Amino acid sequence: MKNTSLLLLAIVACAAAIPTSVMLSLDTVNNQGQLSDPAKLRLQFKNLKSGGVRGIMIDVWWGLVEQQPKTYVWTPYRQLFEMARDVGLNAQPVMSFHRCGGNVGDTCDIPLPKWVRDIGQQNKNIWYQDQHHNIDDEYLSCGIDNLPLLQGRTAVQVYTDFMTDFATVMADLMPSTIDEIQVGLGPAGEMRYPSYQLSKWTYCGIGGFQSYDAYLMTELASAAKSANHTEWGMSGGPNNAGDYNSRPSGTGFFSSGTDNVHSAYGMFYGNWYAQRMIQHGREILTAASSIFAPKKVGIAAKVSGIHWWYGSDHHAAEMTAGYYNTNSVDAYYEIAKMLKEVGGTFDFTCLEMFDQVGAGCQSRAEQLVVQTRKAAVQAGIPYSGENALQMCTSGGCDQYGFNQIVKQSTFLGNIKQFTFLRLTDDMFTNQNIWNSFKGFVATMASKN
């Protein structure tokens, strides 16, 4: 505790102004592999720079870049990064190894490369699967991280090859323009399992465990055998945890019974499920660090803000996503420790949200952000933030949300940076929105 207190004092003492970046539209590079509107984008970049914005974040879609194995087309991204350089904006590319479409806020349909999907047609076990063996084709299962099932390459090798070629092609832009890479580690680019797919889930269902493909089931069986409980690995996961839209009280696993989340089995499975995801992140981020650190470019990983059922003792929605945050385990400190190992930044969402006491879903977004901030401080790693939902509409911006972001970004010393979701035409055509946004950027920049 003493060391943590000293670290907190050091962070406060060294606090610097908080720079703001802006996420670009998901389809900035369209399905034809071209910038959607270069002239408009160039003008928007100039406006952002004039408004005090530091940089932009852009999804670099695997499905668009590597349409043939080991053949990479970076042309539109190179064009975009040069455009950012020319107006003085920094760029944070996201290595987006997931599909666009099917998550909150998705406005495009960019699947994984066809050659990968063709493999999935023959072997559905390359995808995450729920207890009914329904597949989710938005991200490869971590069960194939080290299996050469992708035309002779493992998933980790495929991701590493992609990042290596990116670093080669963009080398002259690093680190002057491209100074950090966010590495996608799951659906929506977040390090989690696809536990709440919009095609099956509605708020505030607990979600579904995703450990039922053949490769993860084999790993689970091996772990259970090592724990001297072979029976724990026979089903691939709990058989009483409900389904995507269940409430905790309607399940045995998250309410009562001998095999619930607090039982010996529940603790074994919850820890294995979470640590398997963390190991997935560790392997890919280790590769990313080896590629980008020599170029003085940082790496970051995004953690999802699963705030519903946070106010309960079981943290059901977090657990199905891979965040084992119960039984005296701090899920986010476990992640922060891994990020410390690889030299990564902890990037978290929902900084604009408040606790929703009495709303029926035990949502505690504000408390969740506090826990993640403390985890990063304790581990001694940088922390960046984002808002989870669009904050500006034709009627104006959510000033209460902006104030909440400022509060959450400064209470343990200043965060490393904030990325605003998302660039829209309204930011420049609606003066109220533009003035509100500029005011927010200026406020964050003044926190030093």
Would you say 207 and 321 are in contact if contact means Cβ atoms under 8 Å apart? Answer: yes
Residue with tokens 């696993």: 253
Instruction: Say which of 334, 352, 366, 386 is annotated catalytic.
Output: 386
Residue type, 391: M
The first and second tokens of residue 321, run together, are 């996503």
Q: CA of 349: how far to CAs of 189, 205, 325, 332, in Å?
A: 12, 19, 17, 13
For residue 191, what are the CA distances in angstroms to 94, 161, 303, 392, 435?
Answer: 13, 20, 6, 27, 34
Measured distance CA(422)–CA(31) in Å, rounded: 20
Annotated active-site residue 190? The verdict is yes
Tokens of 46: 């100039």
- Given 138, 190, 352, 366, which residue is catalytic? 190
Looking at residue 82, the DSSP 8-state letter turns out to be H
> Which string of DSSP letters, residue by residue, matches 394-424?
TTEE-HHHHHHHHHHHHBTB--SEEEES---
Both tokens assigned to 143: 């069960």
End-to-end CA distance of the chain: 26
Query: Which are the catalytic amino acids?
Result: 190, 386
